[in-house]
Chain A
Amino acid sequence: MIFGIPIQALFGQLLVGLINGSFYAMLSLGLAIIFGMLRIINFAHGAQYMLGAFAGYMLLAYAGIGYWPALILAPILVGLTGIVIERLALSRLYNLDHLYGLLFTFGLALVLEGVFRYYYGVSGQAYSPPPLLAGGTNLGFMFLPNYRAWVVVASLIICLGTWLLIEKTKLGAYLRAATENPSLVQAFGVNVPLLLTLTYGIGCGLAGLAGIMAAPVYQVSPLMGSNLIIVVFAVVVVGGMGSILGAIITGYVLGLAEGLTKVFYPEASSIVIFVIMAIVLLLRPAGLFGKDA
């Protein structure tokens, strides 16, 4: 017992918080990259996460392709649709008010969710974890499902890998520089329009990856993205728009904060993130890791 709370309940909720935090982090990371580079608030991010989960589900249901290949294929498929969307539509909106990008991606999310709702309903499809990660481990103070442990570890690796890609590689240097001054980078001979397309593709691919990873944890449902995306936007705002590291750290921390609230004051658990967002916006309008613009 800690503060009158059974230790199993505490760690159980902390784990749930950590799992949710893993998805917050992966999704807000993609949003932050897209916003930093394209200056577009990608409201379709939740739908693309849903698309990743459905890609995994459909690969299994119609082609018999299991979790591990789907873990590679689903993000690639979602990333490719992102590339097509950027080329056909988003690239035409860069010179207009930000509102157009927001409205377009919001509309896109509604269309995608509507299509999947039409064919699959809202009840949700089950997707089992791969046999390798079935079952769990008894840690003594709590039972740890293996798949959930995998999600936490994999998401940390994905976030760290993306951060290293942006901070330590030549491609990352192009991205950072083009975020600051795209026309000068292009004048140096870098194909910035291509970089924008790739960035959107990678951002969407990250959402798709989070989606396939979420499939065995949550139900595969057309609305799984819109349930999550509002919280993810709060995470991005708390972390600071466009801050990669801010998005990652804030994702995990707010997931944990939500889990802890479920233990100590369950009534507030669904609003705690928004309360934190309000406080952060009052004290630091640019977000915890954002630069004052």
Chain B
Amino acid sequence: MNKTNPLLSVSDLHAWYGESHALHGVNLEVFEGETVTLLGRNGVGKTTTLRAIMGLIRKRTGKIEFEGKDLMRLPLHRTAYAGIGFVPEERGIFATLSVEENLMLPPVVSKGGMTIEEIYKLFPNLEERRNSQGTKLSGGEQQMLAIARMLRTGVKLLLLDEPTEGLAPVIVERIGEVLKTLKQRGMTILLVEQNFRFARRIADRFYLMEHGVVTTGFPVEELDERMAVLHEVLGV
């Protein structure tokens, strides 16, 4: 793990939805191979942070660097080519596309992505239902598909927005295994997650967000000693 130069470096990131100022100077770093989880109550700006990094929110200021490259200048459709894949909270499965078309939709942005065979090995359900309409899948399968389709593309960093939201424990378990497998393969992950038990199994570090800024960061080893404070801040 390269601890000197972060893969992703965000500093003083501000973002707006129309007139509403949502991020007030977010600072965070993600190193290669790491899994980092953003914690925080609803509405503190976790999703906004991911969307601003991806470039889906254009009204933003500050600095976002990926492998030393300035992402602020890139048009939305070039950000993926820098090596970043996005899995949105609402999953973004296309109803007018079959499962396989959904899977094949994102263009390959660099070498080193998984082959379709490898992906089907990791997600056998998707192979069985490859010809179904994308949105006919169960919530869990749709989440798998949303993750799976980014694996073909060769991205280095995955931005995952609440992948376990609203899913049954057995599916959450399965997604945890998938993310561990990805981690073993060297994928870097920036995760937004409310589910502690899930996050602690895969995260190396945590950032806590409050009111549109990152207030503190700590490694997974310190999670237990900070639990009382976190419960208070997160209201869980």
User: Quick check: is A131 within 8 A (CB to CB) of the other chain?
Assistant: no
Shortest Cβ distance from A170 into B: residue = B104
User: Quick check: is A156 within 8 A (CB to CB) of the other chain?
Assistant: no
Give chain A residues whose Cβ lies under 8 Å from the Cβ of B109.
Answer: 189
Is there contact, CB below 8 Å, between A187 and B56? Answer: yes
Interface residues in A174-202 by Cβ distance below 8 A to B read 174, 176-177, 179-181, 183-193
Is there contact, CB below 8 Å, between B88 and A176? Answer: no
A288 to B117, CA, bound (A): 40
Is there contact, CB below 8 Å, between A173 and B80? Answer: no
A212 to B80, CA, bound (A): 42
Give chain B residues whose Cβ lies under 8 Å from the Cβ of A181.
Answer: 92, 94
Is there contact, CB below 8 Å, between B105 and A183? Answer: no
B18 to chain A, nearest CB (A): 12
A170 to B153, CA, bound (A): 15
A192 to chain B, nearest CB (A): 6
Proximity string of chain B (91-110) to chain A, C-beta cutoff 8 Å, 1 when within and 0 when not: 01011110001001111010
Give chain B residues whose Cβ lies under 8 Å from the Cβ of A176.
Answer: 94, 96-97
Is there contact, CB below 8 Å, between A173 and B101? Answer: yes
Shortest Cβ distance from B76 into A: residue = A186
A188 to B106, CA, bound (A): 5
A177 to B92, CA, bound (A): 10
Partner of B96, one of A180, A187, A190, A192: A180
A193 to B77, CA, bound (A): 9
User: Quick check: is B16 within 8 A (CB to CB) of the other chain?
Assistant: no
Interface residues on A, range: 10 to 19
User: Quick check: is B66 within 8 A (CB to CB) of the other chain?
Assistant: no
Give chain A residues whose Cβ lies under 8 Å from the Cβ of B88.
Answer: 184
Is there contact, CB below 8 Å, between A180 and B107? Answer: no
Is there contact, CB below 8 Å, between A187 and B86? Answer: yes
Interface residues in B83-130 by Cβ distance below 8 A to A read 85-86, 88, 92, 94-97, 101, 104-107, 109
Is there contact, CB below 8 Å, between B80 and A184? Answer: no
A184 to B76, CA, bound (A): 9
User: Quick check: is B54 within 8 A (CB to CB) of the other chain?
Assistant: yes
Partner of A179, one of B54, B55, B96, B104: B96
B98 to chain A, nearest CB (A): 9
Give chain B residues whose Cβ lies under 8 Å from the Cβ of A183.
Answer: 56, 76
Is there contact, CB below 8 Å, between B94 and A190? Answer: no
B200 to chain A, nearest CB (A): 29
B217 to chain A, nearest CB (A): 26
A180 to chain B, nearest CB (A): 5
Shortest Cβ distance from A183 into B: residue = B56
B103 to chain A, nearest CB (A): 11
Answer whether A188 and B80 are a contact pair too, CB < 8 Å, given A173-B101, A174-B105, A183-B56. Answer: yes
Give chain B residues whose Cβ lies under 8 Å from the Cβ of A177.
Answer: 94, 96-97, 105
A180 to B101, CA, bound (A): 14
List 4 additional A-B contacts (Cβ < 8 Å) besides A180-B95, A186-B77. Answer: A183-B56, A189-B80, A189-B106, A191-B77
